[in-house]
Amino acid sequence: MPAPSISLTEQMLRRRPVVGAPVAYGSADQLKRSIGTFQLTMFGVGSTVGTGIFFVLSQAVPEAGPSVIVSFIIAGIAAGLSAICYAELASAVPVSGSSYSYAYATLGEAVAMGVAACLLLEYGVSTAAVAVGWSGYVNKLVNNLFGFQMPHALSAAPWDSDPGYVNLPAVILIGLCAVLLIRGTSESAKVNAIMVLIKLGVLGMFVIIAFTAYDADHLKDFAPFGVAGIGSAAGTIFFSFIGLDAVSTAGDEVMEPQKTMPRALIAALLTVTGVYVLVALAALGTQPWQDFGEQQQAGLATILDNVTHGMWASTILAAGAVISIFSVTLVTLYGQTRILFAMGRDGLLPSRLAQVNQRTMTPVSNTVIVAIAVSLLAAFIPLQKLADMVSIGTLTAFIVVSVGVIILRVREPDLPRAFKVPGYPVTPVLSVLACGYILVSLHWYTWIAFTGWVSVALIFYLVWGRHHSALNNDGDGLIPTGEAQEGEMFNRPPKEMR
């Protein structure tokens, strides 16, 4: 495609129309709308509860001690403020792409590309991180049931603290999730809802049993590392709130998205934060906080072993964790594919990523590419390094969404919104400040890696993306947004054919 005649600055600042937008030639213009409010809420809960509790607790407690409870609350507040902002933008711009699409509509094409880099990092690395944690619970379950474990060499990354050769269970998990997503979104949503209900039941069992051994003395040395430790742990924990963003990646597949998406976001937030704080409090009361650092694999199951002096409870919890983490991986992998779909449809990535199977209406090629890339990460990179990288991508995306609410209110005050942020403009400003506080607490090497990744994405945009944007020459078609829903497409032939 020839370069557009407008200047580089104009290209970088051009915005995608909120209602009706051109699409890249060769890409699909929509997906099948089949997800309701309950299933979408389960998407949010499914991709969130599991990461922060089943294994990140063992990563975060050594950073903050018992005050990790405060870290969970801080992360929840920051995520909550951002979720409210997401709810408004989701009701105003109900398409796939999450904060990438919101940034494109409010801040311009170059910023959208930077946000897309954050999201691709966020979802790709989160999927890998969750899959890495899955192998520990699989080994725990198999050991309890059959008395053996997979060899350490085949269940640990080469650069882990106790290195192996490859994390094979993580690769298998990602492959299973990819197969399910290729079969269809409706089927995936139903399976996810069942798995979420199972995981909530298992966590309820953990809380009841853990409180029978609760000792308040374990909370006496409440903040051994002070405010810095609380902030650092909040940064590590924050990646588990990615599920709230996953809800907004489903915009093209949700029935009545203007109403459904805000409801699902708020319901998922309340459920997730409540479960996190309750389980963390119960776990901390059962043992000294120093012991968490020694329980990097299957931490909650190990706690139940110590409390019950038997394996029946930990076996149930390990089984629940295996199911739970499967659902997290399923939804985060789903989110990654839908963001790539939106970018391919907008022309900032090859349009092949936005092509769908006519029978299942899913982006098959897109899903296979993502599964291969994420499998390589999960197979060879340790969990802790992955968790911090996800946090910085998530926080940046949340800040952009909060700023986007303010900009869209100013630029398009009459745009229909089924949900409006309460306390505007204070709420989005507080969201930016809360996320910013956690951002500055992240490790310096995380910032270096993040800066390098975003720089690569922006270079790709300057070299390739801006020349192939669907906004060049009016694109090839129109996406139905706002008033135009399924069955009201406005396709037109490519420019050169008109």
**HSE-up (13 A, CA, CB side) for residue 331:** 36
pLDDT given at position 487 = 39
Residue 406's H or E segment, with its range, is: helix 383-411
Q: What is the share, in percent, of the chain residues with pLDDT greater than 70?
A: 87
238 neighbors 397 (Cβ within 8 angstroms) = no
**Quick one: residue 65, left, alpha or beta (phi over 0 = left, psi -120 to 50 = alpha)?**
left
Which amino acid does the sequence have at 131?
A
Handedness of CA 440, 444, 445, 450 (dihedral sign): positive
Tell me the CATH number for domain 8-489: 1.20.1740.10
Q: How many Cβ atoms are within 10 Å of 447's Cβ, its own excluded? A: 14
The pTM for the full model equals 0.81
3-class DSSP state for residue 213? Answer: coil
Of the two residues 155 and 405, the one the predictor is more confident about is 405
Mean model confidence pLDDT for the chain: 82
Q: How confident is the model at residue 492 (pLDDT cuts 50, 70, 90)?
A: very low
Q: Would you kindly state where each structural domain of the chain is located, as residue ranges?
A: 8-489
Average pLDDT rounded to a whole number, residues 294-312? 73
Q: How confident is the model at residue 297 (pLDDT cuts 50, 70, 90)?
A: low
Nearest Cα neighbor of 111 from 470, 466, 364 is 466
Average pLDDT rounded to a whole number, residues 353-382? 87
Q: How confident is the model at residue 404 (pLDDT cuts 50, 70, 90)?
A: very high
498 has pLDDT over 70: no
Round to whole Å and give the CA distance between 394 and 108. Answer: 19
pLDDT given at position 460 = 96
pLDDT given at position 473 = 66
Q: How far is CA 186 from CA 74, 183, 192, in A?
A: 34, 9, 10
Round to whole Å and give the CA distance between 158 and 347. Answer: 37
Round to whole Å and give the CA distance between 332 and 352. Answer: 21
Average pLDDT rounded to a whole number, residues 195-209? 89
Dump pLDDT digits (tens) for 43-52.
Answer: 888 878 866 5
Q: How confident is the model at residue 383 (pLDDT cuts 50, 70, 90)?
A: low
484 has pLDDT over 70: no
Q: Which of 275-284, 325-334, 474-483 has the lowest mean pLDDT?
A: 474-483
Dump pLDDT digits (tens) for 46-101.
Answer: 878 866 576 677 778 888 888 888 888 888 888 888 888 988 888 888 777 788 98
Q: What is the share, in percent, of the chain residues with pLDDT greater than 90?
A: 17
Dump pLDDT digits (tens) for 6-42.
Answer: 889 999 999 988 776 787 777 766 677 788 889 999 9
pLDDT given at position 12 = 92
Give buried/exposed letters for 476-494 (b at 16+ CB in 10 A, else e). bbbbbbbeebeeeeeeeee
* SS3 sequence of 412-430: CCCCCCCCCCCCCCHHHHH
Q: Is the peptide bond before 425 cis (omega within 30 degrees of 0)?
A: yes
Round to whole Å and give the CA distance between 194 and 173. Answer: 17
Average pLDDT rounded to a whole number, residues 256-272? 86
Q: What is the DSSP letter of 153?
A: G
81 neighbors 264 (Cβ within 8 angstroms) = no
Give buried/exposed letters for 223-250 (b at 16+ CB in 10 A, else e). beeeeebbbbbbbbbbbbbbbbbbbbbb
Token pair in block for residue 271:
């459920």
pLDDT given at position 180 = 92
Q: How far is CA 120 from CA 46, 116, 236, 314, 341, in A?
A: 19, 6, 18, 35, 12
Q: How many Cβ atoms are within 10 Å of 467's Cβ, its own excluded? A: 15
434 neighbors 78 (Cβ within 8 angstroms) = yes
Residue 275's H or E segment, with its range, is: helix 257-284
403 has pLDDT over 90: yes
Q: How confident is the model at residue 151 (pLDDT cuts 50, 70, 90)?
A: confident
494 has pLDDT over 60: no
421 neighbors 427 (Cβ within 8 angstroms) = yes
267 has pLDDT over 80: yes
Angle between helices 68-92 and 426-439 (to 10 degrees): 130
pLDDT given at position 141 = 81
